[in-house]
Amino acid sequence: MSITIKTQPPQLTPVYNPMIIAATSSRQSEEAFSFVADIKARGVSVTKLKVPVNPQGYGVFDIQRHIENSISYDFNPNQNYFSIATQSMATYSVALSEEFRYYFNFFDNTFLPAGRVGFIGFAGGEQPPFDVGNSIVIEQTLASPTNPSYNGLTTIIGITYSNAYTVDFRWIIETSKAYDLPSPPEGGKISLANFQLTTIATTASIVEQDAFNGVLSFLHEQTWDYTDYNATSVSPYGKFLTNAPDGFELDINDRMWLNLYQRTNSSTNGAFIETNNGVYRITNSFNSPATIDQQRLLRVAVGPYQLTNATASLTVISGTLPVITSSTKEFSVYTKNSAGFQTIATKTFKVKDKCSKYEKIQLVFLDKLGSFIPFTFELVNKHNLSITRAEYQQHYGQYAPASQDWRYNTWDRGKKSLDTQVVESYTINSNWVNQNTSNYLMELFTSPEVYWIKEDGTTIAISITSNQTERKQTINDQTINYQLTFEVSNKNNQQRG
């Protein structure tokens, strides 16, 4: 008798979607039955859930909120090459147990050598889930049993499996009650005192599953298949964890971090970059995901800026450095395993030096599958200050003893500034984009984590303030560009007056 898990999350699950576990139990018809789920994330217990059987006959858990608290994101603008996406993924496990009001049904009582009475269960019954020392209640079935003194509260002295008192092996519960006198077979039931419930230890488990900081649309979550993204040398290969379309255009100064998932040791020993100047490898030293769960989700820095400027750990397979020059129009990224076979499918990006007479605004945003992707707004932008002042009124001037009157200067101040805070906001405009880019930029407008990497390399956290946008389509608009507004997420303070 045990729990059967009918549905569970896949090996790798986007944590911001439902993570459903459905189970049944052979005991679910017992009184006050509930399934109990003990959830661990990163090896630490995070919560215990208890649910009854639903009208369809299943215990259903959604563990998403409990795992979500252990996951955030990884962003370090100075991180190059491969790194572990430590905060972007959590390995979790779920142990399922059963809780209910248990009744031990007996058909007779018997004399025990110590002068106490034992209660004999039915042949073939399972071991009663009681412990010696439990306080129990005995209820005989007959309204007027031969030995009514057996009824009521008592303590378990022993639990044995024996044929010493019967013709076959049965469970016998020995109590502290004294044997009264012989009687014909008279049955009843035993339960824990004070309406306590019995918990049957873990009978089903989900072990070593992974959740990451991704989210799927309502339409796509039912078709999620984690094997589409797991690094494998069997075609079709895995994919980088991003929705950026192939041919997505990057500025030559853009930074980008692509996430990838690996489950087998040495499945991504290196990321390979191909341009018109050659083939290059970024070595991955975090290649033991089968034994170290924190090495399952990785990120690799492969923006044009990083490939051009952070070359210390790049290996030139063919061609020469730099990786990207003014003649480079596109580059591709993929991974190989230790045997030299491809494991992550080729992802291609276009490269353009977006020369502009305006300041170029490079935004890097967390996309829906957890990668940090750049997009540069290169057309006109406007910078505004929103100023909040706290002021008070004071008396101006002072008493002059010599003239015995009140004197003041024309520059004395009556209204003074107690506190001034300045919020910087920007309105920026993109150049023309194609339909695939237009569709993908919706993820920028809705992203909870966006950063502005300024032309001098300074990185600033920002908050998107555009509350509404239209997904433009070439069939309607012919040409597409976008306007976006954002605020610097930290306020600037001024001197007090």
Compute how many other C-beta atoms are within 10 angstroms of the C-beta atom of residue 233: 15
Mean pLDDT, range 251-258, rounded to an integer: 96
pLDDT in tens, 31-59: 999 999 999 999 999 999 999 999 999 99
| Strand duo 342-352 + 330-336: pairing | antiparallel
Question: What value, to the nearest 5°, has the Cα angle with vertex 223 and ends 217 and 229?
Answer: 90
Q: What is the pLDDT of residue 404?
A: 72
Mean pLDDT, range 452-473, rounded to an integer: 85
| Strand duo 12-14 + 198-212: pairing | parallel
pLDDT surpasses 80 at 401:
no
pLDDT surpasses 70 at 472:
no
- Better-predicted residue by pLDDT, 422 or 369: 369
pLDDT in tens, 192-204: 999 999 988 888 9
User: Which domains are delineated in the chain?
Assistant: 3-75+88-100 (2.60.40), 104-196 (2.40.30), 214-352 (2.60.40), 361-493 (no CATH)
**How far apart, in whole angstroms, are the C-alpha atoms of residue 78 and residue 465?**
26
pLDDT in tens, 328-379: 999 999 999 999 999 999 999 999 987 778 889 999 999 999 999 999 999 8
Model confidence at 389, in pLDDT bands (50, 70, 90)? confident
Please report where in the chains the tokens 């993929």 appear, as a residue.
334
**How far apart, in whole angstroms, are the C-alpha atoms of residue 156 and residue 164?**
19
pLDDT surpasses 70 at 139:
yes
pTM of the complete model: 0.86
Model confidence at 163, in pLDDT bands (50, 70, 90)? confident
Q: What is the pLDDT of residue 417?
A: 76
Residue type, 289: P
* Burial status of residue 462 (CB atoms within 10 A of its CB: 0-12, 13-18, 19 or more): buried
pLDDT in tens, 286-308: 999 998 999 999 999 999 999 99
